[in-house]
Chains A and B, each alone.
Chain A
Amino acid sequence: MIFSDPEIWAATLSMAVPLALPAIGGTFSERTGVVNIAMEGIMLIGAFFAVAFSYWTGSAWLGLLAALICGGLTAAALAWGAIRVSADQTVLGMGINIFAAGLTTFLLNTLFGFNGTPISTPKLPNISIPGLDNIPYIGVIFQNQSILVYIMIVLVIVSHWFLFHTRLGLRMRSVGEHPLAADTLGINVWRIRYFGVILSGLFSALGGAYLSIGVLNGFTANMTNGRGYIALAAMIFGKWTPLGSFGAALIFGFSTALGIVLQGQGISSNLLQMIPYALTILALAGLVGRAVAPAADGIPYDPRRS
């Protein structure tokens, strides 16, 4: 039976990383009231600059840092447009996605030529936690996983605690629900929104870097392959919570892993790839527990208007 094979669970976990991280990022952004559909683009930017700087500096860690900086900057641009200019957030997000796809492909070709990024690019280490790998079954799942898998697990827990158990988290949620009320209590709505959106950029860039210097050590055009959108689905399916996003990412990751295992066994992997979207539609329709977006999600805040 395939389910008893720990390999499929190891693959599930690995597939979940580039979904869970941007999904949690999106959660932070939308919890403060800014719709973020730019995860796909920010992931691409993260993935590209991670490889580029990893190659130029010879250090995957510096590559990761560069990815975070570039992802954060892109998100800051989105935040500026959404908050300061009150531009339509969906249009802005789509714009960033298209821009990022073009920019990274262009830079790939001009900087690295048609051979793609060099195979000598360093990647982040894979590790096994001593002690953990001695446990039967579980040990196999965690054996030789990218260090980002562990970082993700820590981030999931910290994010959930942060959003629901800290003062700043409470303020973020209040701003996403009713910014005017938060404003009348002396909370700086715009600053909190900038923070939420930039945080989402950092998480998305981390997810992108996982693909390019975590799993592989190279960048190919459009390598995120729609994961940013599946992350969007994971965020919704996870009801705009970090733990929920992670859970959804695991389910979606599993369906991808299953698709790979079942390849050539009569079940079309295309069908399995539909699972995330089908589940999200069901969640939005209220069939798998109702998913309710933050009340002020996507609405620019301008105190002078009310």
Chain B
Amino acid sequence: MEIVDLKKWFPGVKANDGVNLTLRGGEVHAILGENGAGKSTLMKMIYGLLEPTSGEIRFMGKAVHFRSPREAIHAGIGMVHQHFMLIPALTVAENVVLGDEPGRIKFDRKEAQKRVRELSEKYRLAIDPSAKVADLSVGLQQRVEILKAFYRKAKLIILDEPTALLTPQETRELFSIIRGLKAEGVPVLFISHKLDEVLEISDRVTVMRAGKTVETVETKGATPQTLANLMVGREVVLRVEKSDAHPGEPILQVHDLHVRDFGRMERVKGVNLELRRGEILGLAGIDGNGQFELADAIAGLLKPEQGQIIFDGDDITRWSPAERTERGIAYVPQDRQLDGLVLSFNLVENTILRDFRKRPFAKNGVIDRTAATNYTERLIREFDVRPPDASRKASELSGGNQQKVILAREVSRDPLMLIAAQPTRGLDVGAIEGIHRQLVRLRDEGKGVLLVSLELEEILSLSDRIAVIHDGRIVDIVPGAQATREQIGLLMTGSRGHSEVSMS
């Protein structure tokens, strides 16, 4: 595939503004770029979801103009989307074969399940074809997405941030699949913000900046630092710089908390936890072990079955989320599109979402647009939201920039405590650097920070103490400075290992 001077202009944004790319047979080609650099836009054009403003896409020697995904699929292009394209109400098998179902008039359900089972065995992506997608964890849903692309025997596979939601184990499995594809001569376009992944799996890397392809380099010879610098266009600090913590009084105490999720499953099974002012407490764990339900319960989105939550001296167990917000709890939820933003609202409306009833944003029950817009524009500058346009709808922002808006809103309210669930998911290295600095700044100002992350590196580099959760219970709490990857990884599987119990 060859892409020549491709452009895609949205009203007011040049999402792609001169993209040049050559993809060789059987290579894994990584695309790197900051949030909003235009990676997804490029992929959507290749896949026929968006029509280019100008430029050309050549595939297998011919210029192609896909007007719909139908045509792209037909030409042999498969895509795993950054935001899942799965139908929760249908089964795994139905999702995989949809659009190319076995049978004539009748849908041959048995055959569909058989094919999906064979496919999942061939690529060693274990999955139950008859399970409903709504009941699957995100990791398993990701598998379904990948199986969809394989099912169509794609001649070119696009993976738009496929590892953003995967555990390290699942990522390793995905990589062996990608290597298998490579061996079969199928080229892969691979997008990720994780530099180590890009270095491990790709043959060449193309870096995009502000809609343009800047450079294509051989992976051999590149280092995380050179890639990061190319991406951001300046020297990036990859390590978190922080001084020692000076923890003060406890700000949050959780006693014997039990929480059920919306499916009435008990997810948190008796958690005791203490967070102090001026510290970052990392909550490490494998996805699905109750960490996000715990965060939701502290923020007030889930009602605990049992137990107590004490915040700054008040028993807030029965408080509403709004009351907790007022009291000084800020929350960056895991699902930014579902719980974090109103996608159809513009940035002004989204940034004042928590405080629109109050001055200076409202006077006598009427919203003061000017005050709100000024405030939003300040946040956009401070947090480097791109494009810097307050009147834009949240849905028009790239994933990483959506996350910046949420963080800006939560942090700028000057809370006493911040719960950050997966705060850097899908963010580029530059943006991660910025967000990590914000978390450390909050801590240094004497706020409590509860960091819930599936990213072990993130937990290790930021936390002053690390609590490890497994199956809804805290397995151990260890000081962050001494903790090692291996030790925490072992605890995450539920085994205490050799470390001492230190519930301090």
Contact = CB atoms under 8 A, between A and B. Distances in A.
B220 interface: no
A90 B79 CA distance: 35
Interface stretch (A100-108, A128-136, A169-177, A262-270): A169-177
A167 B90 contact: no
A295 B89 contact: yes
A167 B79 contact: no
Interface stretch (A185-193, A201-209, A216-224, A228-236): A185-193
Contacts, number: 78
A176 to B, nearest CB: 9
Nearest to A162: B105
Interface residues of A, number: 26
A186 B87 contact: no
Interface in B48-87: 49-50, 68-70, 73-74, 79, 81, 85-87
B74 A169 contact: no
A225 interface: no
A184 interface: yes
Taking chain B's interface residues, is the majority helix, strand, or loop, or is none over half, making it mixed?
A: loop
A170 B98 contact: yes
B107 A184 contact: no
Contact of B86 (A169, A173, A178): A178
Contact of B69 (A165, A177, A184): A184
Given A165-B106, A177-B89, A187-B99, A170 B94 contact: yes
Contacts of A180: 85
Contact of A188 (B70, B105, B106): B70
A177 to B, nearest CB: 5
B331 interface: no
Interface in A264-306: 294-295, 303-306
B451 to A, nearest CB: 31
A248 B69 CA distance: 40
A182 B98 contact: yes
Best-surrounded residue of B94, B107, B109 (most CB of chain A within 10 A):
B107
Given A185-B73, A186-B99, A165 B68 contact: no
A161 to B, nearest CB: 8
- Quick one: which of A170, A185, A188 has the most chain B CB within 10 A? A185
Chain A facing B: main interface SS: helix
A181 interface: yes
A183 interface: yes
Nearest to B103: A167
B395 interface: yes
Contact of B87 (A169, A181, A304): A181
Given A174-B87, A295-B89, A186 B105 contact: no
Contact of B49 (A166, A171, A294, A303): A303
A190 to B, nearest CB: 11
B88 A306 contact: no
B148 interface: yes
B70 to A, nearest CB: 4
A177 B88 contact: yes
Nearest to B105: A166
Contact of A181 (B47, B86, B100, B395): B86
Contacts of A306: 395
Interface in B80-139: 81, 85-90, 94, 98-101, 103-107, 109
Q: Which of A166, A177, A184, A304 has the largest number of chain B CB atoms within 10 A?
A: A184
A146 to B, nearest CB: 29
Nearest to B70: A186
Given A174-B87, A178-B88, A294-B89, 18 more contacts: A165-B109, A167-B106, A167-B107, A178-B85, A178-B87, A183-B49, A184-B47, A184-B85, A185-B69, A185-B73, A185-B99, A185-B148, A186-B68, A186-B73, A186-B74, A186-B99, A186-B100, A188-B68
Interface of B: 47, 49-50, 68-70, 73-74, 79, 81, 85-90, 94, 98-101, 103-107, 109, 148, 395
Q: Nearest 4 A-B pairs (CB), nearest first?
A: A185-B99, A186-B70, A181-B85, A178-B87
